[in-house]
Structure 1
Amino acid sequence: MDDGLIWILVGLVLLMAEIVVPGVFLLWIGLAALGTGLVTVLFAPGFATKVVVFLVLLAVGIGAALTLRRRQKPPVRVNTPDAGLVGRMGTVTERSPAGARVHLGDSDWSARVSGEAEVGDTVRVDGVDGTTLVVSRVRR
């Protein structure tokens, strides 16, 4: 069997494996193998040239993948406890040595207060720790 056809066959096998095994690493190796196979069929280069062509095509593919990855938007954080809560204002409804409760929107949340805040004070959500709000008193 011709070397070029072997490169093309290996590239196709890797591309099919990419479909079965999720990820994107086999895609670039498979495309580099296909490209090397095409160069081999068209020009019949020596072994060293085939290796260099394969490595150059692989480097170009990895560079393209990294460029595409940088352009992706960060994942949308839907239905996570801190989605949309940080920065919102609430009211302290209960304060005890064990912690506090804060009314925020239409819900009451357990809260950990940074600093001093009494019942009725307005607080701002600074973060979320599990299902506990981390809040601080808003100074007027």
Structure 2
Amino acid sequence: MNGIDMGWWWLIGGVLLLIAEVLAPGFFLLFIGIAAMVTGVFVLLFGFGLAPALALFAIYTALAVYLGRKVYANRPVPSSARHLNDRSAQLIGRSAVAVTSIDEHGGRVRLGDGEWSARGAAVQPGERVEIIGVEGNCLIVEAAPKLGA
């Protein structure tokens, strides 16, 4: 197999790796596919044999992975939801209703269709509370401001 034929095989292999990345995304085959395609271009241009082509492929793969990690590791994903993956933190600021009396030692509140452990300001059953924090699975609450007061 001459260098020209081998160059086309490198390019075809690179394209197949890119297609595999699209079908089963893991964001790693992209770098290997790019390295294979660059190797294919160099083999087509300069007619390298198998050993130099493999060496180039190894170098280009390492370089592509290094640059890819540099670029994508420093790009924060913008999110309008500050606590997107912190579900309990999403509860802060919401209001709930005391099911039992609540004090600094504990109590229970109803939030949505569930009950949560809570502690904080002294509140009687039936009163509205506002969630001001979360510690583990215990909500930290304070008495909600009275409407019209």
Native 8 Å contact 1:92 1:119 kept in 2: no
Structure 1 29/117 Cα, relative in aligned 2: closer, same or farther at 3 Å? same
Task: Tell me which of 72, 83, 88 is aligned to 2:76.
Answer: 72
Q: Which residue of 2 aligns with 1:100?
A: 107
Structure 1 100/49 Cα, relative in aligned 2: closer, same or farther at 3 Å? same
One-letter code of the match for 1:111? S
Native 8 Å contact 1:92 1:100 kept in 2: no
Structure 1 57/4 Cα, relative in aligned 2: closer, same or farther at 3 Å? same
SS in 2 for 1:71: coil
Q: Which residue of 1 aligns with 2:19?
A: 16
TM-score normalized with structure 2 length: 0.63
User: Which shifted more, 116-125 or 9-18?
Assistant: 116-125
1:4-43 pair list within 5 angstroms: 4-43=7-46
How far 1:102 moved relative to its partner? 5.1
How far 1:92 moved relative to its partner? 8.9
1:37-56 pair list within 5 angstroms: 37-56=40-59
For the residues of structure 2 that align with 1:30 and 1:84, how far apart are their CA atoms?
Answer: 44
Structure 1 111/6 Cα, relative in aligned 2: closer, same or farther at 3 Å? same
Question: Percent of aligned pairs with the same residue?
Answer: 28
1:125 and 2:133 matched: yes
Aligned residues: 128
How far 1:43 moved relative to its partner? 0.7
TM-score normalized with structure 1 length: 0.66
Structure 1 124/92 Cα, relative in aligned 2: closer, same or farther at 3 Å? farther
Long gaps (5+) in structure 2:
143-149
Long gaps (5+) in structure 1:
none
How far 1:73 moved relative to its partner? 2.6
Structure 1 63/91 Cα, relative in aligned 2: closer, same or farther at 3 Å? same
For the residues of structure 1 that align with 2:88 and 2:26, how far apart are their CA atoms?
Answer: 29
SS in 1 for 2:89: coil
For the residues of structure 1 that align with 2:122 and 2:28, how far apart are their CA atoms?
Answer: 55
